[in-house]
Each structure stands twice: as C-alpha cells, then as structure tokens.
Amino acid sequence: MPFRQRNGGVVPTPKILPCGDSALTVEFGSTIDPDINGMVLALDEIVRARAPAGLIETVPTYRSLTIQFDPVATDYDALIRLLNDETKGIAPRNAVGRRWRVPVVYGGEYGSDLEEVAEIHGLTPARVIDIHSSAVYRIYMIGFLPGFTYLGGLDKRIATSRRLHPRAKIPAGTIMIGGEQAGIAPMDMPSGWHNLGLTPVRPYAPERDPVFLFAAGDEIVFEPVDASRWEAMEKAVKAGEPVAEEVRA
C-alpha cells in the first residue's frame, strides 16, 4: 500500500474498494493501530453526518470503513468524490469516547481458563488478573455478534493464542482473551478464546435503552471484584441499574 507524509508522520494512503454494486470499503491500513482506527471513526462520522442519498449503513472496523448503499438511490460517482475529498489529509478522531469501569469476577467457575493461561506464561493466576485489570482497553469495533467488543490494549505478557478446540457455548458476560485481543461476550455464544472471568454487564440488551452500551472509540478498564458480590450485581443488572460505571479518562 502506498504511503504519504502527514504532519511529519507516515500514514497509509486510503484505498477505496468496490464491494459488489451496493457497498464499498475504504481501507486505511493493515494493522491494529489507534491512529488508523481514529481515521476510520473520523470518516464514519463525516459520512453519517452528510448522509448521501440511499445510505443504508456504515460499518467501522479496526482499519476500514464499509459503506452500504442503495445503488438505485445513490449517486455512486458523487459518493466516490466525497470519499476522495474527505480522506485527503484526514486526521484521526482525537476525542476519546467514554471510559467504562467494568466489574469482573475472575477465575474458578467464573473464568475457567485463568489457571491455564497463567501456566502458559509462567505466572500466578493473581498476576494474570493484575496484568489484565491494569490495562486500558480501546474498543476498536463492534461486530461478529450484536454488541461484541473487540478490545485492543492487551498486555503482551498474557497474549495467548486461541484454543485448539473452541467451545460451542460460553455465557454472556464472559471476559476473554484471544491472541493480542480481549473481548466481552454480549450473549451466550461459541468461542475459541480463553475465559478469564465473568461480568454481569451486558454490552447488548434489546429490551434496554440504549440497546448497545458501548461504542467504538470508548475505553474499558476492568475492576476485579470478589465472587461474594456476584449475586447482588446480577440482581442490579436485571433491575436495570447501572453496574458498568462511566468514568472520565
């Protein structure tokens, strides 16, 4: 991919790629990088704010933005001109989203893979918990399932390849790691990631307003809590009370 200079730095030149006759993708790079993701989110805001005729949906990811549109209602050439104009020298979205403190019960029946992950890295379970809960995680994108959070920022000391044999189902609220990524399960789901703990917080709840608790660009910190608090936290979530606390960066 060609590169260009911007403010003394080097950033990838965006590529506009057709995806059939009703979508296109703008690629900003090929790595997990906060600046690249920031440019994706900046363009996402621009496109949604200007809402070209026939726009159906925008899908921001780690490194690209997919734009879905009605080919009958959309002026494709005008859309391409808009994207070419807006991606010239585009800066990452500097504003950090909300920061959330998410309570987690680690290990035991709540995190069946904690001891295995600790053994793989020559650490104690307590040390894995300390490392995992000390990081500030960025939500790079929401996807795979409604509300699934793809989190960057996992400490390399506990980065762990995915399981050889995925599980058919893990419970909603599972706090997991896979490779150099972390995540929160929004519902019962299959997974090949390693389960470190469990939170009663639900990133996705169709009966709740808002349906999606987190958004791309938000940050998450995990707070270890004792298992004795689980019943009370779960009851609070079912009553619609906030359990994930919104805090300032």
Kindly list the structural domains of the chain, giving each domain's residue range(s) and its CATH number in brackets, ordered by start. 3-87 (3.30.1360.40), 99-247 (2.40.100.10)
How confident is the model at residue 31, as a pLDDT?
Answer: 84
| Cβ–Cβ under 8 Å, residues 150 and 226 | no
How confident is the model at residue 7, as a pLDDT?
Answer: 47
- The one-letter amino acid code at 42 reads A
Strands 181-184 and 149-152: antiparallel
Q: What is the pTM of this model?
A: 0.84
Buried b (16+ CB within 10 A) or exposed e, 111-140: bbbbeebbeeeebebeebbebbbebebbbb
Closest of 76, 86, 80 to residue 39, by C-alpha:
86
Closest of 194, 186, 203, 196 to residue 243, by C-alpha:
203
3 state DSSP class of 233: helix
Regions of the chain with pLDDT less than 50: 1-8
What are the strands of the beta sheet with 64-69, ordered from one edge?
Answer: 15-18, 23-27, 64-69, 55-60
Question: 41: left (phi > 0), else alpha (psi -120 to 50), else beta?
Answer: alpha
How confident is the model at residue 95, as a pLDDT?
Answer: 61
| Cβ–Cβ under 8 Å, residues 47 and 67 | yes
How confident is the model at residue 74, as a pLDDT?
Answer: 95
Torsion of CA 113, 117, 120, 121, to 10 degrees: -170
CA distance 222 to 196: 12
Torsion of CA 200, 201, 206, 210, to 10 degrees: 150
Q: Which two tokens stand for residue 245?
A: 């606390």
How confident is the model at residue 33, as a pLDDT?
Answer: 87
Closest of 181, 86, 87, 197 to residue 143, by C-alpha:
181
| Cβ–Cβ under 8 Å, residues 133 and 111 | no
CA distance 61 to 28: 10
